[in-house]
């Protein structure tokens, strides 16, 4: 049984974005760590992001255009980031953040709409 291309693509992109969000922002909870250690740790985490992101794009390309793949990635990235910032960094989402993210989702609809 082969999984549908959209499911595999979105699943891999979601996992890759979780890794990348931690690589880019996870260290913000640990301000006392030395910057070189943070950079090396982030590179190590980012390796796993690339192990998922590259196959996701290879699998998804053809079913999705490059612009659609990037759009999917951005929407997933913002969704993961909203959860990450509230659960990991304990930051509040403000109304303007949510509205801004909603406008990006609206822009995504425009990209995927058949005109």
DSSP letter string, 24-61: HHGGGG-TTS-HHHHHHHHHHHHHHHHHHHHHHHHHHB
Domain range for residue 101?
A: 5-112
Residue 64 φ/ψ, nearest 5 degrees? -115, 150
Say what the pLDDT of residue 75 is: 94
Say what the pLDDT of residue 115 is: 84
| pTM score of the predicted model | 0.89
Distances (CA, A) of 53 to 49, 76, 77, 107: 6, 12, 12, 22
Rg (CA), the chain: 16
Count of domains forming the chain: 1
Angle at alpha carbon of residue 74, lines to 62 and 1, rounded to 5°? 45
Kindly give the confidence (pLDDT) of every residue in the chain, 115 residues in length, as a single tens digit, with 9 standing for 90 and above. Answer: 899 999 999 999 999 999 999 999 999 999 999 999 999 999 999 999 999 999 999 999 999 999 999 999 999 999 999 999 999 999 999 999 999 999 999 999 999 998 8
- In angstroms, the CA 3 to CA 21 distance is 26
């Amino acid at each position: 049984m082969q999984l549908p291309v959209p499911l595999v693509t979105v699943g891999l992109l979601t996992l890759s974005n979780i890794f990348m969000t931690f690589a880019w922002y996870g260290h913000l909870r640990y301000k006392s760590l030395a910057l070189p250690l943070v950079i090396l740790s982030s590179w190590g985490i980012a390796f796993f992001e690339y192990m998922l992101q590259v196959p996701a794009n290879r699998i998804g390309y053809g079913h999705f255009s490059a612009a659609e793949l990037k759009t999917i990635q951005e929407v997933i990235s913002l969704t993961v980031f909203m959860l990450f910032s509230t659960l990991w960094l304990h930051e509040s989402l403000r109304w303007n953040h949510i509205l801004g993210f909603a406008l990006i989702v609206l822009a995504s609809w425009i990209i995927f709409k058949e005109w």
